[in-house]
Structure 1
Amino acid sequence: MSKKKPLILVTNDDGITAPGIRALIEVMNTIGEVVVVAPDTPQSAMGHAITINDTLYCNSIKVAEHEPQIEFSCSGTPVDCVKLAVNELLDRTPDLCVSGVNHGSNSSINVIYSGTMSAAVEAGTIGIPSIGFSLLDYSLEADFEPAKKYIKLMVNECLQNGLPEGVVLNVNIPKLPESEIKGVKVCRQANAHWEEKFDKRTNPLGRDYYWLTGEFINKDKGEDTDEWALANGYVSVVPVQYDLTAHHAIQNINTWSLD
């Protein structure tokens, strides 16, 4: 008797027609039964936002006629897509959720803003092994071919070994030819931040408006971080936990006079 293929939920934050998700779908079709539920428009930097003050629409579509996956476009956020998939659209719980491939980095502090990673985290909160994938190239003409080898490797290993409870994976892939990628490094998140500025302008009607700008500052010189791995030609893999408790701080705060 042939073994049943794993059910793989695919989503993203760049939108259902983005080249990154199409590359991810292509790889997933070689591994399992694929269902895609993704935003109908770009939802980058939405973080873990959900839709509560508006209605959600979800349409069955076919982006590529020759591909076997089932696809739904959703009017909501990446997290909405996961919630709808699990609670309304699928007849069983997925064996894996993969999100991406994001156009651009989700390393270091970027993970907290990322709709790509928030979709993976949402699936993780309900016990679905989940991976977010990002390529360090923001271009719509980005070459995802070198990433496919590492996507397939990570997914197969995850399906075979599972993930620790409460953990999802944040995988970032450098913008390099496959021959120049040195391998995979399991890392910690670098201690870095954005020094943000707002570019203030005035429109023709005299109303002020703002564009968010900024500079990424990496203060972390460690050679065990995602930023170091990517800068040195490695795929970075950071295990991310969605329990945000700062356990190391509990003892200190218990010394406060809180009675």
Structure 2
Amino acid sequence: MKKRPLILVTNDDGITAPGIRALIDVMNEIGDVIVVAPDSPQSGMGHAITVNSTLYCSPITINHDDVQLEYSCSGTPADCVKLAVNEILNKKPDICVSGINHGSNSSINVIYSGTMSAAVEAGVEGIPAIGFSLCDYSWEANFDAVKKHVKTITESALKNGMPKGVVLNVNFPKLQEKDIKGIKVCRQANARWVEEFDKRTNPMGREYYWLTGKFVNQDKGEDTDEWALANGYVSLVPVQFDLTAHHAIQDLNTWSLND
């Protein structure tokens, strides 16, 4: 009998979020599941880790039929992966899946994403990893519409293996299952947030700020994640965590740095 893969599930919206419960449902069809996820929302945390305060990680039961091993962690998504590998499992799972995030992590959002930070942390540990996100911020988002594609991508990663030093960033358009055209392997769009700050004053006279702004996509390519999502496709972007700009090394070597 073929051994079922060991699957680590985490997220950044918190362990009770509908997105992670949907992801757990799919992963239970594929392998043996362990969940280590934040006890509260950690969106936008990027690759933060806890270094100046204590971490707590306790067994928890959300739905009795969901999973046998489930832990709620006081730390960030990256903390969750570190604790899972080094303290709870004491070994590497066969794959780590993060999400399903409530909201997009396409384009530049990948560098701010707690969802993707968990996947990247797993990748650094040499664990195949995928971050899943749905372009719908609602707590009542329809995750059933994307479960089929989550399963297909996860099983493909387990079957084929992952390129070295790469994790996958997968985003789903906000569509019904019948309206999703398929999966496209893409590059990250050249787009960014143009930030603005809404400056206010509290009743005590102290100034404070709300971060606002708009998303600007100036990339007209039809091979990007933003194009795929806008045109009804699931976007799949291979992400590397070696941040070296290799193309710039030759130019920098022309600088007179040692004169």
Q: Could you state the TM-score of these two structures normalised by the residue count of structure 1?
A: 0.99
Q: Which amino acid in structure 1 is aligned with residue 240 of structure 2?
A: Q
Unaligned 5+ runs, structure 1: none
Deviation at 1:4, TM superposition (A): 1.1
Q: Is 2:159 the counterpart of 1:155?
A: no
**Map of 2:108 onto structure 1:** 109
Q: Is 2:214 the counterpart of 1:215?
A: yes
State the alpha-carbon separation in 2 of the partners of residues 61 and 195 from structure 1. Answer: 40
Q: Is 2:74 the counterpart of 1:94?
A: no
SS in 1 for 2:22: helix
* 1:91-240 paired onto structure 2 within 5 Å: 91-240=90-239
Asked whether the 8 Å contact 1:29–1:69 carries over to 2, the reply is no
Identity value in percent: 74
State the alpha-carbon separation in 2 of the partners of residues 161 and 227 from structure 1. Answer: 26
State the alpha-carbon separation in 2 of the partners of residues 126 and 172 from structure 1. Answer: 23
State the alpha-carbon separation in 2 of the partners of residues 101 and 145 from structure 1. Answer: 11
Deviation at 1:9, TM superposition (A): 0.1
Asked whether the 8 Å contact 2:11–2:38 carries over to 1, the reply is yes
Q: Which amino acid in structure 2 is aligned with residue 224 of structure 1?
A: D
Deviation at 1:186, TM superposition (A): 0.1
State the alpha-carbon separation in 1 of the partners of residues 252 and 66 from structure 2. Answer: 55
State the alpha-carbon separation in 2 of the partners of residues 91 and 251 from structure 1. Answer: 42
Give the length in aligned residue pairs.
Answer: 258
State the alpha-carbon separation in 2 of the partners of residues 191 and 200 from structure 1. Answer: 29
Q: Which amino acid in structure 2 is aligned with residue 148 of structure 1?
A: K
State the alpha-carbon separation in 2 of the partners of residues 149 and 214 from structure 1. Answer: 34
Asked whether the 8 Å contact 2:128–2:161 carries over to 1, the reply is yes
Deviation at 1:24, TM superposition (A): 0.1
Deviation at 1:91, TM superposition (A): 4.0
**Map of 1:53 onto structure 2:** 52
SS in 2 for 1:211: strand
SS in 1 for 2:154: helix
String of CA shifts for 1:207-255, please: whole Å, max 9, x gaps. Answer: 0000000100001000000000000000000000000000000000111
**Map of 1:242 onto structure 2:** 241
Measured on the aligned residues, the alpha-carbon RMSD in Å equals 0.6
Asked whether the 8 Å contact 2:20–2:100 carries over to 1, the reply is yes
Asked whether the 8 Å contact 1:37–1:85 carries over to 2, the reply is yes
State the alpha-carbon separation in 2 of the partners of residues 67 and 164 from structure 1. Answer: 31
Deviation at 1:37, TM superposition (A): 0.1
